[in-house]
């Protein structure tokens, strides 16, 4: 099975060489690199995402090693690097497009990993101790606070900070299966929909020109609907199960109450520093000066190093902190950022012909793919399609998604943003924190549903909510 998956990049390389897009096929001279591409050039991108979705299930022990994840990512990236390298080395008419696409992808990759890495490492240095009474009101507050702070420290940071205290709070209870599920829905996904720091797709939008506060000012009312509904729904469900608890369990829970406290509090200041780097040190769109472009990333790296040195080893051990998850993201996204170059070029060039033109279509199309593929590249892919559908005069390049914040593209960008962030909750593989929360819950004795069992819960709980969001905001 593994040999077949890893041999696909070589087939993609062979298929990608001579096939031209529609303009060339009709005898017209190609005007850009996009005109040289065909659907086969998307095979490495699709193949890598398929490996990310399938290998954890069929070859978990092999794929969980960061070295093997990097091997898979690089193997799929080789055909695209070969294609771009050919145009660059031979000084073909498309040299500029190839250079620009590759350099821009690598810049975005560095910025993306710098932000996620700093948030992951710094938030991993904060240990929230204590054990509150596992009452429905307390649990609901956990979820509400988590959904809000996910916009400040990211869904990954908020999940890692709050999941263990919430599980500790409810460890004396018997009926708790729903608790980590709603936590994934709200804290690990939907909550992070208001800022570029909240969820990776929105940060990629920020890197492509979407103003930092655009999501907050234009999506807050959309974000509020699923958050309020799910918080109320959780309170009702948790109240029902709490009333079924054995009296002895309730008394035991009350006997183990400890006040909430924090260790590694200096990391809160360092997280504030990361936010300041994003707000104050981000370069202007299109700036190529190395010193200005990477000031933000250097600042975040310095803050991360400070966190590593000032946080005691004991604090990180209490959080069961390891670098494995962020190394996995770094390895896989290296391949994703390279292989998605042809996909974004093709979608921008042919977006209008895809038949996806309405906001509700973008919401569900983006969401459907975000349920099973990583939501960050899905966001960029459909952003490129939106650029193609509104025309070059509105959105000249998929690297300038900020132009979609104008009247012609605003509804589509809102739908893409919400679809990517919200529907990452539909499966365990929709967003990075989902699997982390599942693993931590199982470590703490919580019985988690299977892959398809979780999807059943998500379908019952989330799809009606997303249907309501569609009717309220995306059908106009």
Confidence at residue 74, expressed as pLDDT on a 0 to 100 scale: 94
Q: Are 452 and 399 in contact (CB under 8 A)?
A: no
Q: What is the pTM of this model?
A: 0.77
Confidence at residue 352, expressed as pLDDT on a 0 to 100 scale: 62
3-state helix, strand, coil in the chain (%, to 5): 75, 0, 25
Q: Give percent of the chain with pLDDT exceeding 70.
A: 88
> Above 60 in pLDDT, residue 329?
yes
Per-residue pLDDT tens digits for 356-368: 789 999 999 999 8
Close Cβ partners of 56 (under 8 Å, ≥ 6 residues apart) = 63, 64, 429, 435
Average pLDDT over residues 379-392: 80
Which pLDDT band, with edges at 50, 70 and 90, does 253 fall under? low
Q: Give percent of the chain with pLDDT exceeding 90.
A: 33
Residue 404 is encoded by which pair of tokens?
A: 């979609």
Bigger pLDDT: 72 or 289?
72
Spatial distance between the Cα atoms of 351 and 445, rounded to a whole number of angstroms: 47
Confidence at residue 20, expressed as pLDDT on a 0 to 100 scale: 39
* 3-class secondary-structure state, position 311: coil
Mean pLDDT of the chain: 83
Number of domains observed in the structure of the chain: 1
| Range with the poorest average pLDDT among 12-16, 154-158, 233-237 | 12-16
Average pLDDT over residues 328-355: 79
Which pLDDT band, with edges at 50, 70 and 90, does 23 fall under? very low
Confidence at residue 29, expressed as pLDDT on a 0 to 100 scale: 53
> Above 60 in pLDDT, residue 15?
no
Which segments of 355-449 are extended strands (E)? none
* Helix H or strand E segment including 130: strand 127-131
Average pLDDT over residues 119-144: 88
Average pLDDT over residues 105-113: 84
| Range with the poorest average pLDDT among 21-35, 55-69, 398-412 | 21-35
Spatial distance between the Cα atoms of 26 and 12, rounded to a whole number of angstroms: 24
Q: Are 371 and 424 in contact (CB under 8 A)?
A: yes
Q: How far is CA 118 from the centre of its chain?
A: 15
**Domain containing 327: what range?**
2-474
> Above 60 in pLDDT, residue 39?
yes
Per-residue pLDDT tens digits for 195-224: 998 988 898 888 888 998 999 999 999 999
Which pLDDT band, with edges at 50, 70 and 90, does 398 fall under? low
* 3-class secondary-structure state, position 263: strand
Close Cβ partners of 146 (under 8 Å, ≥ 6 residues apart) = 158, 159, 162, 183, 186, 187, 191
Q: Output the CA–CA distances (angstroms, integers) from residue 257 to 3, 172, 176, 369, in the order listed.
A: 53, 11, 18, 43
Confidence at residue 289, expressed as pLDDT on a 0 to 100 scale: 55
């Amino acid at each position: 099975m593994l040999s077949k998956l890893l041999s696909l990049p070589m087939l993609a390389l062979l298929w990608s060489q001579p096939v031209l897009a529609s303009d060339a096929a009709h005898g017209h001279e190609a005007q850009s690199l996009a005109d040289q591409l065909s659907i086969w050039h998307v095979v490495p991108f699709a193949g890598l995402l398929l490996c990310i979705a399938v290998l954890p299930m069929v070859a978990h022990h092999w794929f969980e090693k960061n070295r093997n994840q990097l091997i898979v990512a690089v193997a799929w990236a080789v055909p695209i690097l070969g294609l771009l390298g050919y145009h660059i080395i031979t000084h073909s008419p498309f040299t500029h497009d190839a250079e620009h696409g590759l350099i821009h992808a690598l810049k975005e990759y560095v910025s993306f990993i710098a932000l996620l890495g700093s948030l992951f490492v710094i938030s991993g240095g904060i240990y929230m101790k204590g054990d509150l009474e596992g009452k429905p009101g307390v649990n609901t507050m956990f979820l509400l606070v988590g959904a809000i702070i996910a916009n400040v420290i990211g869904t990954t940071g908020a999940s890692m900070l709050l999941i263990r205290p919430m599980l500790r709070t409810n460890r004396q209870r018997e009926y708790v299966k729903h608790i980590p599920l709603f936590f994934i829905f709200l804290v690990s996904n939907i909550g992070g929909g208001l800022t570029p720091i909240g969820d990776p797709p929105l940060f990629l939008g920020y890197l492509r020109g979407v103003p930092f506060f655009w999501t907050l000012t234009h999506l807050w009312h959309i974000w509020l609907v699923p958050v309020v509904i799910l918080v109320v729904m959780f309170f009702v469900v948790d109240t029902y199960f709490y009333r079924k608890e054995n009296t002895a369990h309730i008394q035991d829970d009350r006997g183990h109450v400890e006040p909430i406290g924090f260790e590694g509090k200096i990391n809160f200041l360092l997280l504030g520093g990361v936010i300041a780097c994003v707000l104050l040190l981000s370069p202007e769109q299109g700036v190529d000066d190395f010193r200005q472009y990477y000031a933000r990333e250097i600042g975040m790296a310095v803050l991360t190093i400070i966190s590593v040195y000032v946080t005691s080893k004991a604090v990180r051990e209490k959080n069961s902190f390891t670098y494995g998850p962020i190394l996995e993201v770094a390895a896989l996204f290296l391949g994703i950022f390279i292989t998605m170059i042809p996909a974004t070029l093709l979608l921008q060039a042919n977006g209008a012909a895809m038949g996806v033109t309405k906001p509700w279509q973008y919401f569900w199309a983006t969401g459907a793919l975000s349920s099973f593929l990583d939501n960050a590249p899905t966001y960029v892919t459909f952003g490129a399609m939106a650029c193609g559908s509104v025309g070059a005069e509105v959105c000249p390049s998929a690297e300038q998604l900020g132009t979609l914040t104008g009247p012609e593209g605003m509804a589509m960008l809102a739908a893409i943003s919400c679809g990517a962030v919200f529907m990452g909750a539909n499966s365990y593989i929709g967003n990075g924190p989902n699997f982390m929360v599942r693993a931590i819950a199982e470590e703490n004795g919580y019985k988690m549903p299977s892959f398809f069992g979780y999807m059943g819960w998500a379908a019952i709980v989330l799809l009606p909510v997303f249907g309501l969001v569609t009717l309220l905001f995306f059908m106009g």
